[in-house]
Structure 1
Amino acid sequence: MRQLFEFFRGHASQAGELIAVSDDESALSRRELFARVVGFASELALAPKTVGILAPNGIDWVIAQLACAFAGKTVVPLPTFFSATQLEHVVRDASVEFILASERTAELVGQSGLPTRTIAGGGTGTDFPEFVDGFGQIVYTSGSTGRPKGVRLQSGQIAWSAATLIAATQASANDSYLSVLPLPLLLETICSVFIPTALGAHVHFDAGLAERVGRGDATGIAKAFDALRPTASVLVPQLLKQWVAELKAADQAAPSSLRLVAVGGAPVPTAVANAAWSLGIPAFEGYGLSECCSVVAVNRPGERRPGTVGRPLSGLAVSIDDGEIVVDGPSIMDGYIGGTASRPWRTGDLGAIDQDGFLTVHGRKDSLIVTAFGRNVSPEWIETMLLADPRIAFCAVAGHGVPHLTALLIPSRQGAEWFAAASYAEIIDLCAILCEGAPRYAVPRAAVVIRIEDALKHRLLSNGRPARKAMARFLEDGAAAPSGSAVTSSTST
């Protein structure tokens, strides 16, 4: 991390007038950003070691994140879309001692009783503090329940991952990055804060879109990209699908400025990826997990292989043991809170590596469904087929120990009208058509449809992504009718 700040200081002194960061309200040049960061780091020198950040995407977050890194603090991102119960658990579990908030979120953390500092207006001093080693981050792997796990990254994993991703993605100071994912997602922090800082590149935060994404709504993504015309961004598959749908509806193409859009967090339907490329979106599939500092493998410019998640990052040893993906290298976490990590790290994901070194991910080992007829089905395989339809925003498949599979379907904004008018038989027929390439035993024969608003109430979505365990419990706890019955949700559209 020390080297990153040397780069940061160099960018501020050379062409310091260039814009480094912007959001919907303001912009800071390289020189202004550096001054704000080092000034705020000086103010944090005597602050407690473990610091929470609760703020929307934007300049305030960048200043807080970099100042904490400069001051050797351990950062705990606090998602604005977490419930009060979830936030309370994270603060207690990570032993947060001090919270940095924006003017908008300061009131939310006032109830915690912890010392709180508002980011806005801070960091205006001119003293250059001494760099302090010891920066780390604790990220929480899931927001689907009140008890997400804390992953400790306190041994240089973030700096290593940022440097390795710069090489893998051919990032440079000429890039203009558009941030649309919530910053509590570790990959977004790496790609929108640490990589641009190291390179002197420009990053723009669309805070409004990021907040909607955190609630499972990506509406307006095409407009955001068209307005800024960036060169790079990171998306989850649902955002890519929404972007494709909006471009098709408007008979438009993506901005020609784009050179790389990394997509990860869940399987990318092949039909969606193909459609993205045909519309000018250079979508590169990747794979990773928080325990490995977000990225394990990614397709690169000039060497993309559709259907795979690319080759492993240089410096990582990736192998397959009894079908499970195993990873070792500098990005492995220090452990969950209260424990240490075993090496190599067994990911719990099933996959395969071809003769050219490209990795394919088949799904979670612990989510494997075994039907009453003894058939094994990876739910991710079927879910990816269902998600190829733009009318379906999110879905999950369940059926462990019963004769057939049931699909939980959450319609997209543009698909809500179709599902509201469709008969149950038409919904089942849609599932069969979308899963035409699967064997009969893997095709869902029952379905539950639930509106996205109700899915949020039931906490079936987290970080704009499906919360698999919560969705499976929702089906198992009575949403699905007995075998062979027609079933719809009481909250269906």
Structure 2
Amino acid sequence: MREFSSPALGGAPTGGLADSVFDRAEREPQLVQLSRRAEGGGWEPVTAVRFRDEVLALAKGLLTRGVRYGDRVAVMSATRWEWTLFDYALWAVGAVPVPVYPTASPDQVRWILAETAAVACVVEDEDQAMTVGAVCDALPELTGIWQLDRGCVAQLSADGAGVPDALVHRQRLGVSPDSLASIVYTSGTTGRPKGCLLTHGNFAAVADTVLAGWDEAFRDTGGGQPATLLFLPMAHVFGRITQVAAVRGGVRIGHHAKVSADSLLPALASFGPTFLHAVPYVFERIHRRAREAAEAAGRLELFEQAEQVAVEWAAARERRAHRRGPGPSPALRLRHAAYERLVYQRVRAVLGGRVRTVMSGGSVLRRELGLFFAGAGVTVYEGYGLTESSAPVTANPQRRAKFGTVGRPLPGSTVAIAEDGEVWVKGPGVFSGYLNHPRCSDEALCRGWLATGDLGELDEDGYLTLTGRKKEVIVTSSGKNLAPAVLEERVRMHPLIAQCLVVGDDRPYLAALITLDQVALAHWLRARGRPPLDVWQALSDPELHQEVQRAVGAANTTVSRAESIRAFRLLPREFSVEDGLLTPSLKIRRSAVAERYAQDIEELYAG
């Protein structure tokens, strides 16, 4: 087994996660800890002392409603400031938040609330309240449903007005790093989600490591307070660790409920974050929209030239950082400077104008895309982690990124590659097991190692490159083993293509199911002077098929013939969370797609 370790940066965390709220209010009472959406559309500042007082008031209200140390309370909501408030109020009394995706089905809600024996559930709106209400007969431990849009925060806080502060502090000071902090459910790409038992120490250790090892990301180059906009789902561990790191690091936090570009970009412009945590989907959409805007303005050639210069400039700097080259040449520096005002400044403006650093995770970011953003003045530090590791266990180090990799082990962590290519990890963020699933826990954990189920490679410097999922390896009828992720990513590089799923288990060759980006398709048609096409017309359009075939052909040039896609089928709509074909963290549910489109797959192989 080949392995690589990074030495730890400091001592182990102490106490519980809520302590940082009270400590910050004591040290820097007027520091702005949160910014909330105001009624007029702006952002209302919330100081550290005000945030502490709100956490304390809500914690007292929870005690009056019977929430006790160790109780589980579900939170089912989109990303909003009340989620952060409930997290810290529950941690202040030693209770355990259980995040639930707002898109969860009644069956999923019943499963999670029953397995965790939740005593209460916080919901966002009437629809979610009805979802929980529909299954509460099967949940004898559930005694309360609290609805955010009906003012439950104010009501709970008022109920606890007579509770002495000391009662909350007594509960809070009883929390240790080994205490259970949250039960976070996996995304369920390969079956029913399992609840990961994550401690206060897991969250705190990962957050403190990121704050110390990537301090430039948490510093505003303009001299002001660092700020980040949380828009990832708070039910996902990536969103939660971002929240914990921001609170522990004194970073101003805003919340935004949607990841879609049309909704997110105006929020970024008004909030003005200095750094972000995001998933590759965000960068792909921003890049595509920038390209489309340039083409619509008749400046596509300029954009493409600027894009190429950005990639070359960032690649040259990357080689210099690793002592493998002198850096950008004088001519390249001049060309790069020429495009700064014309293109790169506008790309940064899309992110709010102040962002210089982004931490990316959730799935693999294309190397070329990472180089483009770095060349445009936004360094993307790609990392890798799982729910079971409390989010990141690797990340590209400051000033020494290798684009296309997910970086080196975080300080205090170790990564190893097993004989079959599986990635194994260990470190302070690794969980203690799955709730009520001892057999699955034993399969995942071995002498402190977590078997991730991902396939990867370590280079001589300890940088990890992911090559696929162990359970997603396709075995063709000829016995060829193929990991589809890299090929799918190559196909998706084409602006028209939203998603690509390669199939071929027990088949003579590989084929693909492909969905189209509808915004990009409309732009593509306009650029060619063609009228809009409805979905069904697009599926049978010869010119469009030829364009997609070019994308497939370009991807095939990177693999052998045995690994190439020989046929593809365009599908009428993108996979989505709502139709059950994507997880809430935007990963494709491969088995669900294969089942839904079984007839299309059969037709790909007919004859």
Assess same fold via TM > 0.5: yes
Partner of 2:300: none
1:394 aligned to which of 477, 483, 499 = 499
Secondary structure of 2:204's partner? helix
Per-residue CA shift, 1:148-199, capped at 9, x if unaligned? 22211136211211111212321547320111211111111110x2112112
Change (3 A) 1:392 1:43: same
- Following superposition, the deviation at residue 80 of structure 1 comes to 0.7
Secondary structure of 2:82's partner? helix
Q: Identify unmatched segments of 5+ residues in structure 1.
A: 487-493
Change (3 A) 1:60 1:145: farther
1:300 aligned to which of 382, 397, 406 = 397
Partner of 1:120: 153
Q: Identify unmatched segments of 5+ residues in structure 2.
A: 1-13, 39-43, 137-141, 220-224, 295-345, 525-534
- Following superposition, the deviation at residue 292 of structure 1 comes to 1.2
Matched, 1:198 2:227: no
Secondary structure of 2:118's partner? coil
Partner of 1:40: 58
Change (3 A) 1:31 1:110: farther
Secondary structure of 1:403's partner? coil
Secondary structure of 2:391's partner? coil
Secondary structure of 1:296's partner? strand
Q: Which amino acid aligns with 2:282?
A: L
1:384 aligned to which of 472, 481, 489 = 489
With 85-94 and 219-228 compared, the bigger mean Cα shift is at 219-228
Q: Which amino acid aligns with 2:22?
A: R
Q: Residues 283-432 of structure 1 correspond to what in structure 2 (within 5 A)?
A: 283-322=380-419, 323-338=421-436, 339=438, 340-341=441-442, 342=445, 343-417=448-522, 420=538, 422-423=541-542, 424-432=545-553
8 Å contact from structure 1 (residues 54, 102) kept in 2? yes
Matched, 1:142 2:175: no
Change (3 A) 1:299 1:146: closer
2:228 aligned to which of 140, 153, 177 = 177
- Following superposition, the deviation at residue 230 of structure 1 comes to 0.9
Q: Distance in 2 between matches of 1:146 and 1:44?
A: 34
Change (3 A) 1:475 1:280: farther
Partner of 1:433: 554
Secondary structure of 1:41's partner? helix
Matched, 1:268 2:291: no
8 Å contact from structure 1 (residues 244, 279) kept in 2? no
Secondary structure of 1:257's partner? coil
Matched, 1:70 2:92: yes
Q: CA RMSD in A?
A: 2.6
- Following superposition, the deviation at residue 84 of structure 1 comes to 2.0
Partner of 2:347: 253
8 Å contact from structure 2 (residues 103, 578) kept in 1? no
- Following superposition, the deviation at residue 226 of structure 1 comes to 2.8
- Following superposition, the deviation at residue 336 of structure 1 comes to 1.3
Change (3 A) 1:259 1:367: same
Q: Residues 84-103 of structure 1 correspond to what in structure 2 (within 5 A)?
A: 84-102=106-124
Question: More helix per residue: 1 or 2?
Answer: 2
1:9 aligned to which of 15, 22, 31 = 22
Q: Distance in 1 between matches of 2:262 and 2:556?
A: 26
Change (3 A) 1:315 1:77: same
2:268 aligned to which of 225, 243, 255 = 225
Partner of 2:197: 152
Q: Which amino acid aligns with 2:153?
A: A
8 Å contact from structure 1 (residues 85, 146) kept in 2? no
8 Å contact from structure 2 (residues 274, 354) kept in 1? yes
Secondary structure of 2:602's partner? coil
For the pair shown, which has the larger CA radius of gyration, 1 or 2?
A: 2
Q: Which amino acid aligns with 1:109?
A: V
8 Å contact from structure 1 (residues 260, 301) kept in 2? no
Partner of 2:331: none
Secondary structure of 2:111's partner? helix
Q: Which amino acid aligns with 1:280?
A: G
Q: Residues 434-449 of structure 1 correspond to what in structure 2 (within 5 A)?
A: 434-449=555-570
Q: Which amino acid aligns with 1:201?
A: V
8 Å contact from structure 1 (residues 296, 313) kept in 2? yes
Per-residue CA shift, 1:193-245, capped at 9, x if unaligned? 211211221011112x2xxx3xxx44344433333221111111111101222
Partner of 2:11: none
- Following superposition, the deviation at residue 27 of structure 1 comes to 4.5
Secondary structure of 1:345's partner? strand
Partner of 2:321: none
Instruction: Provide TM-score, normalisation by structure 2.
Output: 0.73
Q: Which amino acid aligns with 2:98?
A: V
8 Å contact from structure 2 (residues 75, 100) kept in 1? yes
Secondary structure of 1:82's partner? coil
- Following superposition, the deviation at residue 334 of structure 1 comes to 1.3
Q: Distance in 1 between matches of 2:377 and 2:573?
A: 29
- Following superposition, the deviation at residue 116 of structure 1 comes to 2.0
What percent of counterpart residues are identical? 26
Q: Distance in 2 between matches of 1:476 and 1:248?
A: 32
Q: Distance in 1 between matches of 2:129 and 2:602?
A: 45
Q: Distance in 2 between matches of 1:260 and 1:283?
A: 6
Instruction: Provide TM-score, normalisation by structure 1.
Output: 0.89
Secondary structure of 2:406's partner? coil
- Following superposition, the deviation at residue 473 of structure 1 comes to 2.5
8 Å contact from structure 2 (residues 498, 515) kept in 1? yes
Q: Distance in 2 between matches of 1:315 and 1:88?
A: 38
Per-residue CA shift, 1:338-357, capped at 9, x if unaligned? 12452311111111111111
Secondary structure of 1:335's partner? coil
8 Å contact from structure 1 (residues 311, 357) kept in 2? yes
Aligned residues: 478
